[in-house]
Amino acid sequence: MQQPESAPRAAVIMPAYNAAQTIERTVRSILAQTMGELLLIVVDDGSTDSTAAILSRLREEDGRVLPISVPNGGPAKARNIALDAVPAGTEFLMFSDADDLMAPDALQYAIENAAGADLVLMGYTILNPDGSIAAYFEPRAQYDASTLGGALGRLYKANLLNQVWGKLYRADLVLGNSLRFPDYRWGEDRLFIFDCLERAERVTVLPECKYQYIMYPGESLITRWYDRKPEICVEIGRRTEALCRRFGVSDERDFRYMFMKSIFSCLTTLFSPHCTLSRGEKRTEIRRVIGDERVLSRSRDVFGGIAVRTLCAVLRTKNVTLNWLCFYLVARAGDLAPRLFTKLKHQK
């Protein structure tokens, strides 16, 4: 059994909840990294399946696996617990979900090409249940505080700032600034990335896709209803406005586009099978969202094509019944043509 003799060069953080079907493959993809000086911290977030037993066995095989078991509290709390467990002297951090895959050279590629950056944004792919693959990446570039503003909107719209995985973080950036994930079950990744951007002296973008997000059968991007999502969307909107001020962004249309996509998602998930609200409660939720002045203000002058502009126009009517019908139809379209829906959802 391998045992790290000193602080690892990189710590990979992974929350896991009932991940018995996937976690061994994911863990092995990380342990197979060509840059072997790593510690994999896996927080078992109150799993009720055999996740803990699998992690215990993997720990016996390879001492670079550090399992931590905690009561269920969500991925944000799990990641924070892992951050507290990172050994002093660790140079880099990376995050992974428990059902995805990292390319064997992901860590080495990011570290060798970081160019002194505090934050490295890599490309990634999404593997859909039908076997199709979508890639998300931007050309290689380096930015500092004086140049990041010119690229920030494009990076955000390219879906490179929404997820905590697929990135390399200098440990001092996160741990030295005591950065932690807010206790949400949606949007916490994005807010964490914003915290990092505000403090990073240099950001590097790398084009190679070294992380694969896997969509499993039955999983849908429009089924994740969460009662706090609208308020988090508004908070994200405030934070992007602050980022624009911080980095001197004069044209905020890309940010408005991303904000409105999040609002559309809030309204669409009201019609997912997982939403337990009554008809009256759904109408109340729609009224609350479309009555928010920040939502109405940000819905004007948005990029994104005719579909986005049409949805924004419907929202600005402030008519609850019309918005109900419109987003009900969007939800049904997602059920009938999930691949097309995903493409539209992630279009630049």
| Average pLDDT per 10 consecutive residues for the chain, totaling 348 residues | 69 98 98 97 98 98 98 97 98 98 98 97 93 95 97 96 97 98 95 98 98 80 78 95 95 92 94 92 97 92 85 96 96 72 54
Is the residue at 76 inside a domain?
A: yes
Residue 168 has phi, psi (to 5 degrees) of -115, 135
Is the residue at 1 inside a domain?
A: no
What Cα–Cα distance (Å) separates residue 300 from each residue in 96, 285, 310, 316, 338?
36, 21, 11, 9, 28
254 with 142, same domain: the answer is no
Q: Strand 92-95 vs strand 141-144: parallel, antiparallel, or unpaired?
A: unpaired
CATH number for 18: 3.90.550.10
- Alpha carbon 135 to its chain centroid, in Å, reads 15
Q: Which residues pair with 80 in a beta bridge?
A: none
| Amino acid code (one letter) for 310 | T
- Alpha carbon 46 to its chain centroid, in Å, reads 21
135 with 43, same domain: the answer is yes
Is the residue at 69 inside a domain?
A: yes
182 with 259, same domain: the answer is no
Q: What total of structural domains would you count in the chain? A: 2
Is the residue at 282 inside a domain?
A: yes
245 with 131, same domain: the answer is no
135 with 24, same domain: the answer is yes
244 with 203, same domain: the answer is no
pLDDT of residue 53: 98
Residue 345 has phi, psi (to 5 degrees) of -60, -35
pLDDT of residue 302: 83
Is the residue at 220 inside a domain?
A: no
234 with 210, same domain: the answer is no
207 with 247, same domain: the answer is no
- HSE-CB at 221 with a 13 A cutoff on CA atoms is 23
Residue 120 has phi, psi (to 5 degrees) of -120, 125
176: exposed, middle or buried (Cβ count in 10 Å: 0-12, 13-18, 19+): exposed
Q: Strand 133-136 vs strand 119-127: parallel, antiparallel, or unpaired?
A: antiparallel
Is the residue at 221 inside a domain?
A: no
Tokens of 147: 């140049």
Last residue of a domain, one of 157, 181, 214: 214
pLDDT of residue 191: 98
Q: Tell me the residue range of the domain where 14 lies.
A: 10-214
pLDDT of residue 340: 54
> Closest Cα partner for 210 from 302, 112, 108?
108
Q: Determine how many CB atoms are found less than 10 A away from the CB of residue 318.
A: 13
106 with 254, same domain: the answer is no
